[in-house]
């Protein structure tokens, strides 16, 4: 009997090892394991822009910083395509793994990889052809245009590698290796931080040097993550790049793009918002004592800081996506509910901590980016305190949007993705300055943050009730049938 028990125990142990940990490991542990590397990856993605802004501010001046602000919408467009493909293919693959359809998940990886390369080349060529009209549309003034062209033209050359890094970092998490996703991005960020001061201060390449440092780092990140997916592994839950799967399948691509559309919309709307804001800053800045170039440069710094704050929420959201997607496929509703609630708390606490730092130490933060004049510093500090006043609501909004995306509800995810920026923030940026001038742009963000949090709650309350009902039906099937 003892031998039989031993054999049974050994068989159960082997069965657990062959299962995907997303379905049986403690949710809290999984959330930390997947979210922390994702947060680091998102912070690294923000750091690419932040590091450039810091060194350009110190080595070139506020016109150089204004140039990166004008270029930022282009980088956001690239990020939109990267997250559209990366988040969508990651969510689709996670659901297929939860359904034990490992081959379909692997084919998804290969389709996403090839599709990303094609899209990256197309975007690079289109961006270079129409560079000057695009920069004009995005708010480049006569003084800023030469710097913006130098910086953005080089950034566009790295587009295919940039997109590959974004997409494969998402899929590495679904593959069960969130740390590899983090390492791939971390190596690139470290290299960028080293190369920036060398190219700007030693070689005196100015904004061109910052751009060269950025694309060099993106190439290294893409190579590291591609190498990970090329290597062989005997573990059945792992996806790999194979020549025989490297064929585009329109139906599969359509399916994962539908799941990724909310992430793509979020970034696309962010681009529209940045364009509207840049042009509003120039217009109302020129009508004030600040000046359009100073207003553009100062808000550019604040937007990069907001990016860092948002990275905490986005990182937690990305980390929860494979957990939610897998357990949705496996119909483990208790784990879905617990993952969502823990993620909301985790993201909100992280962003709230950053909010306290911004509200109590704004002068110290702004000084990192240069201090050319008291006028610039005072306006930048004012921007930082007012514009980010309600950003602590972002964690709840981001995780809730990710929940709908990961659980196969793209319409709700898409609507919530558009809510804050397209439906609230952009109209406020247009309307409030008519009555409040330049300050109207600053107050638009906290109003939009607070209002969107309330609307998201209206979507999530019935969803939690639905989850509770599904959990009850699984716990008491007979009672559920009566219902």
Q: What is the pLDDT along the chain (483 residues), one digit of tens a residue?
A: 444 444 434 444 444 444 677 788 889 999 998 888 888 877 876 766 677 778 887 778 778 888 888 998 998 899 899 999 998 999 899 888 888 888 898 999 999 999 999 999 999 999 999 999 999 999 888 888 999 999 999 999 999 999 999 999 889 888 878 788 778 878 888 888 899 899 988 998 988 998 999 899 999 999 999 999 987 655 544 688 988 888 899 999 999 999 888 778 878 888 899 899 999 999 999 998 888 888 988 898 898 899 889 889 988 998 898 899 888 888 899 999 999 999 999 999 999 999 999 999 999 998 887 666 788 888 999 999 999 999 999 999 999 999 998 888 888 988 888 898 889 999 999 999 999 999 999 999 999 999 999 999 999 999 999 999 999 988 876 554 444
The tokens of 431 are what? 């309307």
Closest by CA to 49, choosing from 208, 167, 211, is 211
Report pLDDT for 301. Answer: 87
CA gap 369, 210 in Å, rounded: 14
CA gap 279, 136 in Å, rounded: 10
Q: Which residues contact 136 (CB under 8 A, 6 or more apart)?
A: 145
Are 382 and 436 spatial neighbours (Cβ–Cβ below 8 Å)?
A: no
The total of other beta-carbon atoms located within 10 Å of residue 331's CB is 12
Region of 159 (left: φ > 0; alpha: ψ -120 to 50; beta: rest) is: alpha
The number of residues in the chain equals 483
CA gap 274, 277 in Å, rounded: 5
Q: Which residues contact 428 (CB under 8 A, 6 or more apart)?
A: 440, 443, 444, 447, 448
Report pLDDT for 225. Answer: 93
Q: Residues 406, 410, 415, 421: is their CA dihedral positive or negative? A: positive
Are 79 and 274 spatial neighbours (Cβ–Cβ below 8 Å)?
A: no
CA gap 78, 203 in Å, rounded: 28
CA gap 277, 234 in Å, rounded: 51
The tokens of 187 are what? 């190596």
Report pLDDT for 480. Answer: 47
pTM of the shown model: 0.76
Are 355 and 309 spatial neighbours (Cβ–Cβ below 8 Å)?
A: yes
């Amino acid at each position: 009997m003892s031998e039989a028990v031993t054999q049974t125990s050994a068989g159960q142990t082997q069965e657990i090892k062959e299962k995907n940990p997303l379905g049986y490991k403690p949710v809290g542990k999984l959330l930390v394991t997947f979210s922390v590397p994702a947060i680091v990856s998102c912070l690294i993605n923000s750091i690419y822009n932040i590091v450039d802004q810091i060194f350009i501010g110190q080595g070139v001046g506020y016109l150089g910083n204004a140039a990166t602000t004008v270029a930022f919408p282009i980088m956001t467009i690239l990020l939109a395509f990267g997250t559209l493909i990366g988040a969508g293919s990651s969510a689709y693959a996670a659901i297929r793994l939860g359904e034990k359809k490992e081959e379909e998940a692997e084919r998804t990886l290969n389709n996403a990889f090839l599709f990303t390369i094609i899209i990256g080349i197309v975007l690079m060529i289109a961006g270079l052809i129409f560079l000057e009209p695009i920069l004009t549309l995005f708010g480049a003034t006569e003084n800023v245009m030469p710097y913006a062209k130098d910086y953005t033209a080089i950034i566009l050359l790295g587009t295919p590698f940039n997109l590959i890094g974004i997409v494969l970092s998402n899929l590495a998490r679904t593959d069960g290796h969130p740390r590899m996703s983090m390492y791939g991005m971390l190596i690139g960020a470290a290299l960028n931080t080293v190369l920036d001061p060398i190219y700007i201060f030693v070689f005196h390449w100015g904004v061109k040097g910052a751009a060269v440092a950025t694309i060099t780092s993106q190439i290294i990140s893409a190579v590291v993550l591609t190498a990970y997916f090329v290597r062989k592994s005997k573990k059945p839950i792992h996806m790999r790049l194979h020549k025989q799967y490297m064929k585009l399948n329109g139906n599969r691509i359509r399916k994962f793009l539908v799941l990724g559309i909310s992430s793509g919309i979020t970034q696309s709307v962010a681009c529209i918002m940045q364009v509207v804001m840049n042009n509003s800053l120039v217009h109302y800045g020129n009508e004030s004592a600040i000046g359009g170039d100073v207003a553009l440069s100062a808000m550019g710094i604040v937007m990069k800081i907001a990016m860092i704050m948002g990275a905490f929420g986005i990182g937690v959201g990305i980390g929860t996506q494979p957990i939610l997607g897998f357990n949705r496929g496996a119909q483990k509703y208790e784990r879905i509910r617990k993952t969502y609630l823990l993620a909301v708390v985790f993201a909100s606490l992280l962003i709230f901590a950053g909010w306290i730092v911004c509200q109590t130490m704004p002068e110290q933060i702004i000084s990192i980016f240069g201090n050319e004049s008291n006028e610039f510093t005072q306006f930048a500090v004012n921007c930082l305190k007012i514009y980010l006043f309600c950003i602590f609501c972002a964690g709840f909004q981001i995780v809730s949007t990710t929940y709908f995306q990961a659980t196969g509800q793209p319409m709700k995810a898409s609507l919530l993705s558009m809510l804050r920026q397209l439906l609230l923030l952009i109209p406020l940026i247009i309307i409030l300055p008519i009555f409040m001038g330049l300050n109207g742009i600053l107050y638009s963000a906290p109003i939009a943050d607070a209002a969107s949090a309330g609307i998201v709650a209206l979507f999530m309350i019935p969803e939690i009730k639905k989850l509770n009902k599904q959990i009850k039906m699984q716990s008491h099937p007979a009672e559920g049938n009566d219902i």
